[in-house]
Structure 1
Amino acid sequence: MADTSYQPAPARRARRSDPDRRERIIQACLEVIAEAGVAGTTHRKVATAADVPLGSMTYHFDGMDELLREAFTQFADTVADAFERRMAAVEGREAAKAAVVAIITEDVFGTQRDLVLTHELYTLAARDSGFRDITNAWMARSRRALEQHFDPATARLLDALIEGLTIHRALDTEPHDPSTAVDAVGRITA
């Protein structure tokens, strides 16, 4: 006769708590973009970099477009936050001019990663107008930070100068003399 005594059901595995998973995916996405570009970024690569199951990608994001938007928004906000802090910390026009020079020569594109991410965002925004809201919000924040010390027209010119000189500094094969930035800022703010 068979033993019909009660056998408890096997214990269920405890569900893994991972409250930072979404943020880890976003950060991993930025690292994959920095390494492989937007064109080389896939759900699989990001999931591997974030050390999450592939299914987590579709659980947390509707698709690659949403993930890219979240990642680039977070990146732009991080850079804009640093820009705003730098400009808010100074008092007076001369200190503001020195802060702009420091942004050009030290802050923006301080790493190869930031350079690549910025250019990948610019390229994506140039091809897909849906991403221009990220770049426009970033530029608006930069101009507002500059407008704490300069009139709106000068702030717009300085913002363009910052972009241009940092791109030159980042991509040029020759070292840049910081006096170029000092001279350019001086001319625009004269």
Structure 2
Amino acid sequence: MAAQATQASARERILQAVLQVIGTDGVAAVTNRRIAAEAGVSLGSITYHFPSQTDMLRDSLLEFVTAETTRMTDLAETYRDRGLSVADAATLTQKIVRDLGGTAEQLAPFELFIQAGRDPSLQDAADECYAAYDVLAVTILEALGVADATAVASTLVATISGLQLRRVATGVPQDVSAAILRLVGGNAD
């Protein structure tokens, strides 16, 4: 039992190290030696947990999106019974996006999505990530009473992602709240 906990812990540290390295120096900087050093694990731990670099990249992307989706779903649930309006949800989303900042872990998924464009073996993982964001968007939009939430969700996810990428690339804060309100038919005062 203790060995399983240690293995899980090493695996988690490896995945976090992958996101840190990618967010700091890009996908090309991911080497087994660098990840082992960053994660504080042996080189053998890398190959034990991940047969290939593609597996390590894919799992780090999926780990990130699983954690983000859980965090966002938990946040949405805390507001579900508070009578949140679309405008309130848009303002909350703006705050979440602003709070994410430009940390290495937040930059890493963008790098991994670009890498998926180059490496077809990562495309299923990228698709899973976007599907999870779409499901989350549908859940929130339906809870808000937005008509045809399924039709709006992928456009909303793409808009928020695009605005986040624009902020990362330019350093200029983006008005996510107004974009959400325009997309879902609210008022963008």
Q: TM class, shorter-chain normalised?
A: 0.7 to 0.9
Higher helix share: 2
Deviation at 1:110, TM superposition (A): 2.9
State TM-score, norm by structure 1: 0.76
* Residues 152 and 184, structure 2, Cα contact 8 Å, conserved in 1: yes
* 1:51 maps to amino acid: G
- Structure number with the bigger relative contact order (C-alpha 8 A, sep ≥ 6) is 2
Deviation at 1:146, TM superposition (A): 2.1
Paired position in structure 2 for 1:187:
182
Deviation at 1:96, TM superposition (A): 4.3
2: distance between equivalents of 1:107 and 1:26? 23
Task: Give the RMSD, CA atoms, in angstroms.
Answer: 2.6
Paired position in structure 2 for 1:166:
164
1:102-181 correspondence runs (5 A) = 102-107=92-97, 109-148=100-139, 149=142, 150=146, 151-176=149-174, 180-181=175-176
Unaligned runs of at least 5 residues, structure 2: none
State TM-score, norm by structure 2: 0.77
1:67-78 correspondence runs (5 A) = 67-78=56-67
1: distance between equivalents of 2:97 and 2:40? 31
Identity of aligned residues (%): 27
2: distance between equivalents of 1:189 and 1:112? 29
Count residues with an aligned counterpart. Answer: 172
* Residues 25 and 47, structure 1, Cα contact 8 Å, conserved in 2: yes
More displaced stretch, 114-123 vs 102-111: 102-111
2: distance between equivalents of 1:93 and 1:170? 32
Q: After the TM superposition, list the runs of 4 or more consecutive aligned residues in structure 1 that deviate by more than 6 angstroms.
A: none
2: distance between equivalents of 1:78 and 1:100? 21
Deviation at 1:42, TM superposition (A): 0.3
